[in-house]
Amino acid sequence: MNEKTLNETALGMVAPGRGLLAADESTGTIKKRFDGIGVENTEPNRRAYRDMLFNTPGFEKHTSGVILFEETLFQSSLAGEPFSKLLASKGVIPGIKVDKGAKPLPGGKPDETITEGLDGLRERLLKYREAGARFAKWRGVIVIGNGAPSYNAIQTNAHALARYAALCQEADIVPIVEPEVLMDGDNTAATCEEVTTWVLKEVFQQLYYQNVLLEGMVLKPNMAVSGIRCATQASVDEVAERSVRMLRNCVPSAVPGVAFLSGGQSDELATAHLDAMNRVGNLPWKLTFSYGRALQAAALKAWSGKDVEAGKKAHLHRARMNGLASLGQWEAALEKAA
C-alpha cells in the first residue's frame, strides 16, 4: 500500500468545486434509461453515449473523476482513444465499479440484500489498475420497512465494504465506500437519519478492524431525506441539518471527503441539498457529489441518441451547478437563467 498515492488520489477526487460523475450503470440499468428515450441498448450506443459525456468541453472543470462500468473501462472513444486515457488527459481520474450487485440476504428481512463480488476481486483490481483505474466503487444497500433493517443486514454489508476497501488499498486503488440507505419507503427524514447513523457507525467499525487507511478513501453515503412515499417531505434546510449532524456523529476527520449519492432525488433538489450542507461551513471534510441520474438525466434526454451538442450542453450545465453547490455557491436563479 502506497499511503501517499492513496491520499493524493482521494484528495483529488474531492477537490474544491469538483465532484464525481457516476457513469457506471450496468447493462441492465442503462437499458431502462435508453428505453425511456427510445434508444436501443447496444454496445455501440452505450459507447456513443459515454463518448458524448466524456467529450463535453469544460466538464472537467467541475468533474474530478468518473466511475466507469467494466465494459466502459476497456472501451475506446469514437476517435479511438481508450476512455481511461481520454479522461486522464483532461485531468479527470478514471474509476471503476467492482461489485457484482445486491442479492437476497439469507436469513434477512424481506427485501434485505448482501452485495456480492469479493471472490476474485484481488485479481480483477490488478487488471483494472493496469487499464487506468485509480479508484473503485462498491455499493451496499440497506432498506427501511417491514422490520428492516436488521443488524444482520447492516453488519454483513459493512463487513463486505471493509473487505473490499482493504483489497483496493492493497492494489493502490482508492475505495469509494458506499453504504446506501434507500429512500424508497414511507419513513420520515428523522428515521433515515437514525438508520444511516447506525449504518455509518458499523461501517467505520469494520473499516477499523480491517486496517483501512481512512486518509485513502472517500465515503459515498445517502443524505438524510424523507422516503419518497412519506406524506411530509423534509425541507432543504432540514435535510442539510440532519445530514451534517449525521456525518459529524459518525465520520472521522481523517477521511478526506464525502461524495453524496443522489439516490433518486430530482436534479435540482440534489443540487440544493448539497449546496445547503456546504453553507453550514466549518466541516472537517470536503462535501461534494457522486451523482448518476441527477447528473445525467437532462443530458440523456437532450441527446436521445441523436443530438450530441444538446446532450453536451445539458451535461455541462448540471456539472457546473453541482460544482457550485460543492462550494456553497449555487443559487436557484442560475437554473432559471439557463
Residue 124: CB partners within 8 Å, gap ≥ 6? 98
**Taking a C-beta distance cutoff of 8 angstroms, is the pair 203, 197 a contact?**
no
Q: Would you call 175 helix, strand, or coil by DSSP? A: strand
The total number of residues shown for the chain amounts to 338
Helix ranges, the chain (H) = 3-13, 27-37, 43-54, 70-73, 83-89, 121-130, 151-170, 189-209, 236-250, 267-280, 293-303, 308-325, 332-337
What is the rounded distance in angstroms from the CA atom of residue 199 to the CA atom of residue 126?
Answer: 30
Handedness of CA 264, 220, 16, 68 (dihedral sign): negative
Catalytic residues: 178, 220
Residue 235: CB partners within 8 Å, gap ≥ 6? none
Half-sphere exposure of 66 (CA within 13 A, CB side): 32
Handedness of CA 95, 101, 105, 109 (dihedral sign): positive
Phi, psi of 39 (to 5 degrees): -110, 135
Beta partners for residue 191, in sequence order? none
What is the rounded distance in angstroms from the CA atom of residue 319 to the CA atom of residue 20?
Answer: 9
Number of H helices, E strands in the chain: 13, 10
